A and B are shown apart, each in its own frame.
Chain A
Amino acid sequence: MVEFLQLTLSGIVFGLVYAAIALSLVLIWRGTRLLNFAQGGMAMFTTYVAIEVIYRTHSYWAGFAVALAAGLVLGAACELTVVRPTLNKPPLNSVIVTIGLLTVLEGLAGILYGGQYRSFPTAFSITGLRVGGTALGVSRSDVFVAAAVLVATLVLAVTFRYTSAGLRMRAAAFNATIARLSGIRVARVLTVGWALAGLLGALAGVLVTPSTFLYPNSMDIIFIYGFTAAVLGGLDSAVGAVVGGLVLGVALSYAGGYVGGSVGADLTSLVALGILVTVLMIRPDGLFAGSRMRRV
């Protein structure tokens, strides 16, 4: 029972990180109908920026803030420079462009920061928390990770729901032409969407890297699971992204904990595949996909 609790809690923490990546993918998908394969690479790069700032200033929070700001800038810059010119070309082209972007970012990180593994500090203690005599299997740092993702998600949800900027973004994603006719500068809205996605990715990078080390490919596997979470929930649904992330995080935690040994750790991707295929066979457009009409 204690083990179950521990695995669930740590699964939720990782699941929320996947959810942050998934949310950033959903943001971009809703705006530009494009899968951003560079999302993990962007998060990796901003985490390197954070680590440099932390080394220079000896302040975790300075690095944290700079990483988020860098994420905003990087997201917007990517959209403005290379993504926008591809949006009127065949759809796979923009996907290849984001793959090119990922490659460039990984190469640049290698040139600027070298390929060796680097550890990343945490904001809070990593000693396990206890309630009564029972170890919970999570630390203060894990609680911070979960809280940070939840706060970011809530802020985004409130922004989208209750502000005029959020309304403009939803309108642009819903129907670009009509939004444009209503006086919304759709192009600018798309840039803002990419910037926000960059910020979410940067947040995920800073939060997850203490448990993975930092190297040019360090976000690849996190991206894969974030992508899986987004697909699981349905790429059009922000709620789906969070639920998908949680489901995946908890399931992978059980798989790693109960199957045991090295086999359990190796088979996490198989478990993820099993869950994804099962869900998609029942709901081909993800758990939270709305009803969908196809033009003939």
Chain B
Amino acid sequence: MTMRTLPRRLGLAVIVAAIVAVLSIKLNAFRDYQIAEIAMYVTAVAGLSVLTGLSGQISLGHGGFMAVGAYTTALLLLHLNWPFYAALLVAAAVTAAAGAVVGVAAARLRGPYLAGATLLFGVAITAVAVAFPGTFGGDQGLNVVFTTPSFVGANFPLTRWQAWVSALVALVVLVLLANLHYSRIGRNWRAVRDDDVAAALDGINVAAARIRAFVVSATCAGIAGALLAIVTGLVAPGAFTITLSIALLTAAVIGGLGTLPGALWGSLLIVLLPVYITDVATSHGLSSTVGANIPIVAYGVVLILVMLVFPQGIQGALRWVINAFFGTEQKSRTWRAAPATHVTPSADETPASQHEKEGTS
């Protein structure tokens, strides 16, 4: 990578920030809320995409990390009246610690075993919140009060401020992750993903690399949780179900695993598609039972179709289109298009006595 990549990424971030600012002023409050929601998802999905796409570990419990970040933020805002940015930093630190703990356990596990353990982690975290209602508010959760600061003026809409804060945080996280992608740390992750034995022979501390990936990824999810706290104003167990964890993984894979633009495409899809289909269904005068469920069915159908038609996700499809029209200038980055073969152990969990490679198909 050349010296100019950092300015280029910052420039891109500034452009996106400007677009978001213009959009949030032009569009109504509901769209502002959606911008904030998308920013929150992008933050979490990008972190998960780094974990799964770069270091080759799967997590079905990232909703749990979001819960950790959200509850930390809510408690700090509620009891100590901290400013949001301070609460955000502490929430990031707390989830980083949680990520380290889970990462230590996860470094030993592979594929479905890791999937099972993280899935239960995600379920169990919210159970703690329900079991100790005195601290965490039980099923009702904790209410978060978030207001616009005085310097933006009294008439500044709260939803727009929420959209700005969320988008800013998301962009900072994305720029940091992009730098991590191309750093030594990112290279080590890819080496561990592609072949952990070869990576170990090259002197990479495989376990440390895996744990580091979990810490980074959990921190992103924790930051997303903090955003969720201020955007929705309510931190309750119902927000962090297994459905959330699965939606995050889905967005990462649909968008294009291991790519940061993919995290954006995936988040756009999971936020906007259900709303869009609901609008279409209601405008065609469908009954409420049908109208409420059509988006669910359509969402499932889209998931299946994208995976069948674009195996590399939306970003993979876009890159294919760009290459088809503008030559092969992207060739130097082919690692990003490489499938993460070790993510689920289809590739490396072969029956014990099977020696030849041919059998794995």
Residues of A within 8 A of B (CB): 29, 33-35, 37, 82, 85-86, 88-97, 99-108, 110-111, 114-115, 173-178, 220, 224, 227-228, 230-231, 235-236, 262-263, 266-270, 272-273, 276-277, 280-281, 284-286, 290-296
Contacts and interface: CB of A to CB of B under 8 A. Distances in A.
A290 B116 contact: no
B307 A89 contact: yes
B108, B112, B128, B197: residue with the most chain A Cβ atoms closer than 10 Å: B112
Interface stretch (B1-9, B222-230, B246-254): B246-254
A110 B292 CA distance: 8
Contact of B297 (A97, A108, A284): A108
B112 A175 contact: no
B123 A269 contact: yes
A224 B350 contact: no
B131 A281 contact: no
19 contacts: A86-B307, A90-B311, A92-B343, A95-B344, A101-B300, A107-B294, A107-B296, A110-B289, A110-B296, A174-B354, A228-B119, A228-B120, A235-B112, A267-B127, A270-B124, A272-B124, A280-B113, A293-B354, A294-B348
Contact of A290 (B58, B117, B346, B352): B352
A178 to B, nearest CB: 7
A224 B119 contact: yes
Contact of B301 (A104, A263, A292): A104
B353 interface: yes
Contact of A103 (B52, B249, B296, B358): B296
B110 interface: yes
Contacts of A111: 289-290, 293-294, 297
B300 A231 contact: no
A279 B155 CA distance: 57
A176 B340 contact: no
A173 B349 CA distance: 12
A104 to B, nearest CB: 4
B105 interface: yes
A270 B127 contact: yes
Given A102-B300, A103-B296, A220-B242, A96 B253 contact: yes
A146 B341 CA distance: 40
B289 A33 contact: no
Interface of B: 52, 58, 105, 108-110, 112-113, 115-117, 119-121, 123-124, 127-128, 130-131, 195, 197-198, 242, 246, 249-250, 253-254, 257, 289-290, 292-304, 307-308, 311-312, 339-341, 343-355, 357-359, 361
A93 B117 contact: no
A85 B304 CA distance: 11
Contacts of B298: 107
A100 B306 CA distance: 10
Contacts of A107: 293-300
Contact of B341 (A90, A94, A101, A269): A90
Contacts of B351: 173-175, 236
A273 B298 CA distance: 33
Contact of B131 (A35, A86, A266): A266
B300 A104 contact: yes
Contacts of B361: 88, 176-177
A266 B120 contact: no
Nearest to A85: B308
The 10 closest A-B pairs by CB, nearest first: A103-B300, A107-B296, A100-B303, A231-B116, A104-B300, A107-B297, A110-B293, A91-B346, A90-B339, A100-B304
Contacts of A103: 296-297, 299-300, 303
A273 B124 contact: yes
A291 B352 contact: yes
B257 A92 contact: yes
Contacts of A115: 289, 292-293
A104 B52 contact: no
B343 A91 contact: yes
Contacts of A37: 246
Given A90-B341, A96-B250, A177-B359, A231 B307 contact: no
Nearest to A227: B116
B147 to A, nearest CB: 33
A231 B115 CA distance: 9
A95 to B, nearest CB: 6
B346 A33 contact: yes
Contacts of B300: 99-107
Given A90-B339, A92-B52, A280 B124 contact: no
A100 to B, nearest CB: 3
A97 B350 contact: no
A43 B246 CA distance: 19
Contacts of A286: 113
Contacts of A97: 303-304, 307-308
